[in-house]
Amino acid sequence: MKKHGLAGTYYVSLGMLNRKSDPGEIADIEMLGKVLSDGHELGCHTYSHPNPWKTTPGLFESSIVENRRALSDLFPGSAFQTFAYPYGVATPRTKQIAGKYFVCCRGGRQSINSGRIDLNFLNACFIDARQKEPLSSVKRMISANRKAKGWLIFVTHHVAEDPSPYGCTPDFFEEIVRWSMDSGAVILPVIRTFEALQKGANHE
């Protein structure tokens, strides 16, 4: 993305820094600092990555609050504005809780956002081996998003030559970036897309 002058959103669970997980090794503080200095957005992914379907509302909210506090301690003056549900799922109650703290929240569903959208559960398309989405299918989604004048959010846990089931290869990722650019799409971090949409709505 840097090669093309683009920025994205990195969702982080700060309680998992420096740990190894199924997708691989989690980022460290130095890496997060570079993400911010390069102009990317850091979004909230809760502190401990609890499953919204299996966690009590109180513990789920506590994990959000703790992650917000941890970011402020690590990078004074920084604050999360957008959120991603762990595992890409949410209950009505966890949506209500997340909506108190963030301007928009990302889920899953392998779909684009168009027409009336739910800002507390934005659709997203996971580009990893678990979904088994061929490049041709992703390209069709990009074309459909262009026709719908929609908002398409791509998600992956990491990009590596030998990725886990939760990631994709650099060639696969770069082809998606290139195809998105060729489609005429405006490629922005989630918060900047939200702000652009809000600005457009206020001028109607």
Q: How far apart are CA 142 and CA 160, in angstroms?
A: 23
Does the pLDDT of residue 203 top 60, yes or no? no
**pLDDT tens, 31-56?**
999 999 999 999 999 999 999 999 99
- CA 98 – CA 120 distance, rounded (Å): 7
Q: Would residue 91 be called left, alpha or beta, if left means φ above 0 and alpha means ψ between -120 and 50 degrees?
A: beta
d(CA 117, CA 47): 27
Contact 114, 148 (CB under 8 A): yes
Q: Rounded to an integer, what distance in angstroms lies between the CA atom of residue 108 and that of residue 84?
A: 9
Which long-range CB contacts under 8 A does 66-69 form with residues at least 24 apart? 66/15, 67/12, 67/13, 67/14, 67/15, 68/44, 68/101
What confidence tier does 154 reach under pLDDT thresholds 50, 70, 90?
very high
Mean pLDDT of 176-193: 95
| pLDDT at 176 > cutoff 80 | yes
Q: Quote the pLDDT of residue 202.
A: 60
pLDDT surpasses 90 at 24: no
Q: Which tens digits make up the pLDDT trace of 122-135?
A: 999 999 877 777 88
pLDDT mean across residues, the chain: 92
Residue 152 near residue 125 (C-beta atoms within 8 A): yes
More confident residue, 112 or 26: 112
* pLDDT tens track for 57-115: 999 999 999 999 999 999 999 999 999 999 999 999 999 999 999 999 999 888 999 99
Predicted local distance difference test score (pLDDT) of residue 1:
86
Percent of the residues in the chain that have a pLDDT greater than 70, as a whole number:
97
- Domains of the chain and CATH, by start: 2-202 (3.20.20.370)
Rounded-to-integer distance, Cα 112 and Cα 93, Å: 23
Q: Give the SS3 label for residue 135.
A: helix
Can you give the pTM of this predicted structure? 0.92
| DSSP-derived pairing of the beta strands 24-25 and 20-21 | antiparallel
